[in-house]
A and B are shown apart, each in its own frame.
Chain A
């Protein structure tokens, strides 16, 4: 079903944007290009600069330096009300003294849309968010999830060049959040516009996004698809932020493609790394690792590290092990149910993996656990 709200996407170019406050730098030289029709998520912990970046694009905040272009047109000096972007807020921001229909009509009135056309557009927008027939209610008569749907309808009804969303599901409970995530994804596919989404929830980012930009300390650490970020993280921060991982940290010896490092008496190898750092952190995902009671149980070519079992959790679909590595840090292993091995907390065991797996990164942590 084609919606009247459908339209071509818009390109957003953020170039070397910095936002400095009196005592801090909220956004530090961030560059990001959002492709037309793309669903991009700005993901990061609180205070990482993702919301400030969104506010800069929306025009709620003035930038200190850099430029923002929408479809090749510079907008960083254009006031918010002339940027033509739809914004959805975490706190809904519905006008309490207006009905649902009046709220959705508001942006159309600003654009002097003819009355008859307004009516069709409002009905279409309400249908898109599944709230047909709710036009005469007041926001306070709706649940949180319904209010946020109205906010979506209001932000989309005037066919904005792009839709910006600042943690729109942050105030909702888990079940509703998951339901609305799927709906947002469906709406994105239906209307085909550019969506910029801010969240601190990596699972939400994985579900929704075409691409994810990972923010940390006011900078973008990496931009990529979920798979790229998960399989080829560019930094230890990204590796840890995107899903679970086990990190083996040691100085890198024998630089070059055939790098190796000595991890508490075990020689670790792995796929060639682009830039081999001095202090290395070899990152492995839980499903790349296996655990066995004795070193002899592991295949010949595997890399093996002796560990102690801390937890063996039965998950139905398989087991999740929490292990103590020789340097005292924690390892996470997930195995299919077929590979049950009866290990219990306190047992000595061996964690092993193929030397074709793993990503070698620079150890950026200041505190060493060795």
Chain B
């Protein structure tokens, strides 16, 4: 099959980017500052979970502020002092249209917010001023009009025609083949107004079981083993990290991402860090220099490490017995969990005594065996156990346990379950400084009317209790590739650059869509609909892309719908300590682009669904507040207080500026108050009637936390099958400091591209020497064992620029996960967790060989190859 499809696919390669060797950041030596009368729009960063507060100042393009305090909006004399939070970096400034007229905009970190105090910021948020559309900058390629593919070319059409085509074809497919003929992949995070709208359309109105979030093949949870223990991933306040004595960081680097969480909250707090990561990154070096520990784990073996540390703690009797007896579940408690929907708790849930007996009986987790599997020396495992749990006299160390995708994207269930049980053994989960949580990725922008309908899925795990249902969500990619999906709607996510076996998905998708023999050849709406109905009847697919920029998927799409985004409409969501803020509109959306909720409303109405007459985003925000009641993001009272004050919810929230309110929002003594943490055993007794139970209990049937069995046996065979052999190397992947996510903005920001004009392969100098590699060489990375979603053995290939560094040890390389066109996932097999269905994104490996040299090797090349740990 490969020859035929490969030839077809070559025709689709137009958007594969060449490497941006020539990029440079044109430097300015002056920047306009906002005058005293500039309009201030409170907002927060669009990017990572921390959600730093920012202020966007706009003012007419023919004016500028002066250097005296009364001449500028900061009330500051220039030059401003170090750490003043008042300096405008040239990358914070842009020119935008506002109300149709040219304006300056400066988007500057807000020193008055509760998150990034004194105006601290990451490199990603700090240059978010480059995000707004500017026709003189690389953002000029924003999608600005709806388009339809006719005769293999995308042509502009009207919104009316575009939404009619989508609605009519969706209605046709659902009426003919049932709700599962329609599937949507969607972001989980990009604002409540939007996520509420599409959850309403797909899960409530259409009722499909074919849905998946941007980072999963399914529509279900992330850190599932943590959730199952009863702990909400975002249960803490950032100030809690300053009360910890030791923080166990599993599978994330808080400087690469969540930078402000690290530089503003964790590092100054002085907690010792146990940093679990295959890379000796700058954060690992920081941990070691400050009495902490770096556990340089072999990729994908976190489960064994977590369990070995627990086992040693239990052997020494260092567990927090008093807390465990008080706060964790008995066998009767576990049996209260519902059959079906809570099958994992019924299957893998353990009492402390059961958990202890299991761990002590499985020799996988002895120090010696754990060292062999994880590559972490046993002395370090012991040291980690001591730091986490060894009492000093009668005082226990305050241990906080955190995880993120390096953990739960290895073997999703056992890795995250073993981490949560490690936390419970240490008494973490319900007290300041003794917390358990995710570090987080995106912000908490999912506000759903209805979640993924597990009850409609036909997929069952083989690991359930005998005689009881064990439902798993449907794998979207497998379903789409198998040709069963008629309408494939991709909303705001770079599907093809972020899923395992990505090249196999592309090859199959091309057959079903753009290279299908049936295609529209007219701009008449009815003719387009008729042609695409015939394609669907013939087993093909109708592909909708809704996004802000063109990307790989645009080369396949039948319809492209341009979306408005951050800064272009009022939006809301919460960040990593459940802080709800408004993200204010401060500029015009380019061209005809519209907020995602608006587009969906047009489609829904044309499909005949009711309840879609929203005038603005605020209407949805207020409607959603009813649904939020009792949950972790309960903002019902925010909207009620707004109504009492005669204001719209959005306006009421805008008055709370960049600090917002930590949810759940409650009424205490007649006043609106926030909530510092969930599962909080220090929560005031007198306020319990104002709060739902999750605020002071764990999120389980009994309110007690559950030890979840994170069993290496669920992973062992797969690990053995896919680990590197012979001259293969691990090709691990994840984030890097300067880049956010799929680079949808960063690829259009020269300041970022100059640092990383190509995706890189960090490789240890010893491994490089064996292959004759120097920094700046172009290398091929090839994996012959990329099992795709349908079980076929395929080959994944990507070319990268070598970056020699001791950050990675021998046998392990590292690359950026989502570099457009050079995505790490291209060489990762579509291995899914047998309990949760989540991909193992970290199980990449490959053979590495030199295929050329790049100009980056020369001094003129913009990419730096000095170690990131320099100094």
Decide whether A and B assemble into one complex: no
Interface residues of B (CB under 8 A from A): none
